[in-house]
Structure 1
Amino acid sequence: MKTIKSKQEFEEVFSRGKRLNDSLLRIRVAPCDEGTPGRVAFVAAKRIGNAVFRNRCKRVLREAARMSSLPQDGYDVILFSTRRTHDSSPEQVSGSLRKLLGRGGA
């Protein structure tokens, strides 16, 4: 799975991307150059909890991304966890993710 790592890559997605929200997660989707493989990033803000809480949220997001076949070619996606992500199953988050990606055109 190819990931977004640098600050510059994050800023690119933020400037070109579309923001979509759900109760289980928030995403930012940006189209990338044609023929470029898509990338994905997983974010859990410090304000949602301690390190153990945030790591569980990121594990749930990673599994949901695998279940949803992310990253998709032609799209960069940043997944942000919410407090409700921690108590949700990867299947629930994957359903929300598919719904948001459909609304975002990915």
Structure 2
Amino acid sequence: MKTIKSKAEFERVFSSGKRASHRLVRVTALKGDEGDLGRVAFVAPKRLGNAVYRNRCKRVLREAARSCGLPVPGYDVILFATRQTHESSPSQVGDALSALLVRSGVRDE
């Protein structure tokens, strides 16, 4: 799974991307070039808790992204953990993520 790493790439997606929120996960997505392979970023801010807590949130997000078929070719997607991400199962987060991908225009219904 190819990930977004540089600060400039993050800022590009933040400034121009479309946002969608759910209590379990937040998504920011930006359509890129057609030939471009899709990329994904997993974010768990420090305000959520210590490193162990944040890493668990990112593991749940990664598994949910895998189950939803991310990365989608031609799209850069950033997934943000919330406080409820930690207590949720990857399948619950995956269901929420699927709905958010449709809402943000990454996927058709």
TM tier, shorter chain?
over 0.9
Task: Name the structure 2 match of 1:23.
Answer: 23
Note the residue ranges of structure 2 that are not aligned, 5 or more in a row: none
Task: Name the structure 2 match of 1:105.
Answer: 105
Note the residue ranges of structure 1 that are not aligned, 5 or more in a row: none
How far apart are 1:16 and its partner, in Å? 1.6
Task: Name the structure 1 match of 2:61.
Answer: 61
What is the alpha-carbon distance in structure 2 between the residues aligned to residue 91 and residue 36 of structure 1? 28
Task: Name the structure 2 match of 1:77.
Answer: 77
3-state SS of paired residue (2:84): helix
What is the alpha-carbon distance in structure 2 between the residues aligned to residue 16 and residue 74 of structure 1? 15
TM-score w.r.t. length of structure 2: 0.96
What is the alpha-carbon distance in structure 1 between the residues aligned to residue 56 and residue 14 of structure 2? 25
TM-score w.r.t. length of structure 1: 0.98
3-state SS of paired residue (1:85): coil
How far apart are 1:105 and its partner, in Å? 1.0
Higher helix share: 1
Which residue identity lines up with residue 19 of structure 1 in the other structure?
R
The alignment's C-alpha RMSD in Å is 0.5
How many correspondences in the alignment?
Answer: 106
Deviation readout 1:55-77 (Å, 9 max, x if unpaired): 00000000000000100001100
